[in-house]
Structure 1
Amino acid sequence: MSWPAPVRLTPRVTLVGSGTLGFGLTDAHDSHVYLLDGGTDAVLLDAGCGLAADRIAANVRAVLGARPVSRILLTHAHADHAGGAAELARLLGATVHALAPAAAIVAAADEDASGLRTARRAGVYPPHLHPPAVPVHPLDAPRLGVGALTVEVHPTPGHAAGHACFSYRDAGARALFSGDLVFARGRVAVLATPDTDLGELAASLRAVRDLAADVLLPGHGAPVLRDAHTHLDAAVGHLDRGALPPGLLP
């Protein structure tokens, strides 16, 4: 069976990895992995779990040709988003970056802090998934350049320690890479892990709502290519009514 081709979502963004909770492009356990092309530079947003890193790298090359990817920006340290960081960094010659709490977890391959050991015992991940350690550069500036684009870094704890969202403006529109903070229709993913904090989650949802994003590019599920602010408004509307937004599934 042939692998599905990468999916161009916007003039700047191509989906190069995605698992069962998405487009099924690569390994079933992968989050969405986005390629952001700034022209003279390109970066990846998240890295998948690592079981199909070669496929993700091939998709990147299919889009960029010989042009390189300079950095892998991780939204957080959970294995479906960060497990592939070491192998993709090797295959693409890229460096890995995350907010300091997530950077420490990924750099040490700490399976307890990332929740991987517990999730693997629960059958969420296969027993052979053991992502290796990789050097990770802490993100300590509020923005970074990616070719012609300026990417803003938004600390958004709540779903996980050191969770970050990223956004950029192009042609007057703001696109938001929301990781696992918020999904289409204002849905959220709340895990029974020590680093999940509902108070921080609510504050982070309100903060990203105020960005008034036009495009929402979440870690799983359907991307939203117009009027994304209405989906973020829906999440905050639940909070305003004293309720948690609905879960990602079903």
Structure 2
Amino acid sequence: MTWPAPVRLTPRVTLVGSGSLGFGLTDAHDSHVYLLDGVTDAVLVDAGCGLASARIAANVRACLGARPVSRIYLTHAHADHAGGAADLAEQLGATVLALAPAAAIVATADEEASGLRTARQAGVYPEGLRPAPVPVTPADPGDVAVGKVTLEVHPTPGHAAGHCCFSVRDAGTRTLFSGDLVFSRGRVAVLATADSDLRELDRSLRAMAALAPDVLLPGHGTPVLREAHTHLQTAVSHLDRAELPPGLLS
């Protein structure tokens, strides 16, 4: 089959992986996987599920040529975002990082804690999706350099334990990689899992809305390339009315 090409979203960011809830670039079960290019360094945000890691790696090489990816930053430990971490780390020679709660899950490929076992039994994921353990470095909140740009790590629990967002400010534009905290049109994903917490979700949404991002790059669905702050404010407006924002699939 002919695979779609990577999609350049901003001067710094290219979409190199995406599943059925997005652009269909790679495996249907993949989250969005973003390549952040800081010229002298490059990193990935999320890793997909692992069923199309070779294709994601090929997309990365098509964008960077011989330049390496140094790190893979995970927004959280769910299989669609982190299941491919071990494969991509090996193929790209990259280090995997996540906030401590998610790092512990991914490092041990804990299918119970990640929710993968339950989701696979429910038919959400195929039987062949079996992530491998991989060394994961706990990420600290705050700023980290990615070549010529700075990536900021924001703890944002609510959708899952150890969830985080990342932001980059470049040439006067703030880009927010929101994982599964918030999507276009202010939608959210609340799961029936022990680590999905509505109070934490409320706090995290308000914190990210306060950043007033220009660009919103969520874990699924449509990226927002201008005036992204209005989409986050939509979610906050629902919270102000003591309402849960609409769901991702609504």
d(CA) in 2 for partners of 1:52, 1:128: 12
Query: Counterpart amino acid of 1:181?
Result: L
**Secondary structure, counterpart of 2:153 in structure 1:** strand
Residue in 2 aligned with 1:134?
134
Q: Shift of the alpha carbon at 1:91?
A: 0.2
Match status 1:110 vs 2:110: yes
Q: Deviations over 1:131-188 (max 9, x none)?
A: 0000000012411000000100000000000000000101101000000000000000
Q: Shift of the alpha carbon at 1:221?
A: 0.1
Residue in 1 aligned with 2:15?
15
**Secondary structure, counterpart of 2:88 in structure 1:** helix
Residue in 1 aligned with 2:162?
162
Extract unaligned runs of 5+ from structure 1. Answer: none
Query: Counterpart amino acid of 2:51?
Result: L
Residue in 2 aligned with 1:231?
231
Residue in 2 aligned with 1:43?
43
Does the CA-based 8 Å contact 2:141-2:154 persist in structure 1? no
Residue in 1 aligned with 2:212?
212
d(CA) in 2 for partners of 1:141, 1:233: 24
d(CA) in 2 for partners of 1:204, 1:219: 16
Residue in 2 aligned with 1:101?
101
Does the CA-based 8 Å contact 2:141-2:155 persist in structure 1? no
Residue in 2 aligned with 1:243?
243
**Secondary structure, counterpart of 1:234 in structure 2:** helix
**Secondary structure, counterpart of 2:200 in structure 1:** helix
Match status 1:65 vs 2:84: no
d(CA) in 1 for partners of 2:141, 2:159: 22
Query: Counterpart amino acid of 1:122?
Result: A
Query: Counterpart amino acid of 2:129?
Result: L
Extract unaligned runs of 5+ from structure 2. Answer: none
Query: Counterpart amino acid of 1:113?
Result: A
**Secondary structure, counterpart of 2:152 in structure 1:** strand
How many residues are paired up? 250
Q: Identity over aligned residues, as a percent?
A: 79
Residue in 2 aligned with 1:121?
121
**Secondary structure, counterpart of 1:112 in structure 2:** helix
**Secondary structure, counterpart of 2:59 in structure 1:** helix
**Secondary structure, counterpart of 2:126 in structure 1:** coil
**Secondary structure, counterpart of 1:247 in structure 2:** coil
Does the CA-based 8 Å contact 2:140-2:153 persist in structure 1? no
Q: TM-score, normalised by structure 2?
A: 0.99
d(CA) in 2 for partners of 1:141, 1:125: 31
d(CA) in 2 for partners of 1:28, 1:140: 31
Query: Counterpart amino acid of 2:62?
Result: A
**Secondary structure, counterpart of 1:206 in structure 2:** helix
**Secondary structure, counterpart of 2:113 in structure 1:** coil
Q: TM-score, normalised by structure 1?
A: 0.99
Match status 1:189 vs 2:189: yes
Q: Please provide the CA RMSD for this pair.
A: 0.5
**Secondary structure, counterpart of 1:175 in structure 2:** strand
Residue in 1 aligned with 2:88?
88
**Secondary structure, counterpart of 2:229 in structure 1:** helix
